[in-house]
Amino acid sequence: MRYRLASTIAAVTLVVTSLVSAGDASPALAQTVTMSGVYSGPAVPAGVTNHDSFAGWLGDSVPYAVEFLDTNGSWDGIANPYWALDAWSQWSNAQPGRRLVLSVPLLVSSASGQLAQGAGGAFDANFVTLSRNMVARNLGSSVIRLGWEMNHNGSPWWAGNDPASFRSFYARVVTAMRSVPGAAFTFDWNPNLGVQGGSPLTTFDSFYPGDAYVDVIGLDIYDIKWMDSTSDPAARWNWMMTQPLGLDQHRTFAAAHGKPVSFPEWGLYKKGDVLGGGGDNPYFVHAMADWISSGNTTLESYFNVDWGGGTLDSFPNAKAAYKLRFGASATALTVSNVRVTALTSTSAVITWTSSASATSEVDFGKSVPSTTVVGLNGVTSHIVTLVGLTRITKYVYQVRSDSSTQDPAVSPVASFTTLRR
């Protein structure tokens, strides 16, 4: 999204992966991810300061920083972005383990569509110079998001203009940047979720440059379903999972190529306009956290700028869910193994476990989870029975556990349908 904006804020997390099992209608909650970073706007004037402020709010270390070079500027701005490299070099060198994630345009706007020229080597010198500048500042191990969202037709380097030239151009730039002594970049090949109407890019293979030129296979995803803000959160998530170039295909494609995955941009979006955002939707945050932690994921990045749809501050419930799932694990209670273990025409038994002794509550209803049933307190194995239900009826539910010493944990909204008899 950055090439369409003047400034941006995003969060990025290096994920420690762990296997989780799927629940009735959504993944089970996983352990909180704690190794985070943030893109806090351009490094100058306040990006580094804002980075540290985000870490203070999140309550955890923030070892990764995301930055974007200017698509609308000149080639010199790509080759010699001193404003960004100097500031982030000082930041990264101040503490071991810090790392820059740099989003590098494959073409500037004045060269829009010139993929064939790039494949022929017309722009190589700019990327070699950038690589030298980064290595000289001890940024040679940075993550490079080269030509991110290349399947979006708003990009100057849209692969749909000439997929073959895009593949060759991408591979050529990777080779050029790696040729500099001391360069040890991680190249994150990073499409956008889904297929745009009329786009020839309907499979990842059609614009993939080859395993030799890709270290990580990324995907950008937002809680957006075009013209459909009213869809159920679980249905929206299922759509994101199953559509062409969606989450399922992304994970499968990466596994087939022996690559880890990443989510360099993801975020919420307001309701009420044609983009069809889901608004304050903690379900999406929980589902993303679960998906990230259940796969071979190396990187995740929350896009926290108001590009028309709001920031985390616009969505208080989702913001709380984000801090719970991606903040300091020492203060976070977690729930897992949420299941409907017994179901009849008029009752359902909900079970789950919590990471510490806590309360047992289930919120449920036919359209929204608005009725609460309370179970035992001070337990880690929870069981709550719902009675008086209507037969052959779909209900939505979520579980909730609270501890006096930790933040409360709430599961994503899931569903079940009562039996006929």
**12 band by pLDDT with thresholds 50, 70 and 90:** very low
Question: What's the average model confidence in pLDDT over 20-25?
Answer: 30
Residue 122: CB partners within 8 Å, gap ≥ 6? 114
pLDDT in tens, 208-247: 999 999 999 999 999 999 888 777 899 999 999 999 999 9
Point out the least confidently predicted range of 14-23, 71-80, 138-147. Answer: 14-23
Q: In this predicted model, which residue has the larger pLDDT, 266 or 119?
A: 119
Point out the least confidently predicted range of 165-169, 191-195, 292-296, 399-403. Answer: 292-296
Q: What percent of the chain has pLDDT over 90?
A: 63
Cα(355)–Cα(225) distance, integer angstroms: 34
Ordered structural domains, the chain, with CATH: 2-331 (3.20.20.80), 335-417 (2.60.40.10)
Backbone angles phi, psi at 192, to 5 degrees: -105, 155
- Residue 17: what pLDDT? 31
Q: Which residues of 243-260 are buried (b: 16+ CB within 10 A; e: fewer)?
A: eebbbebbbebbeeeebb
Residue 63: pLDDT above 90?
no
Cα(118)–Cα(128) distance, integer angstroms: 13
- Residue 277: what pLDDT? 93
CB 387 within 8 A of CB 367: no
Question: What's the average model confidence in pLDDT over 116-121?
Answer: 98
Question: What's the average model confidence in pLDDT over 165-192?
Answer: 97
pTM over 0.85: no
Cα(333)–Cα(358) distance, integer angstroms: 9
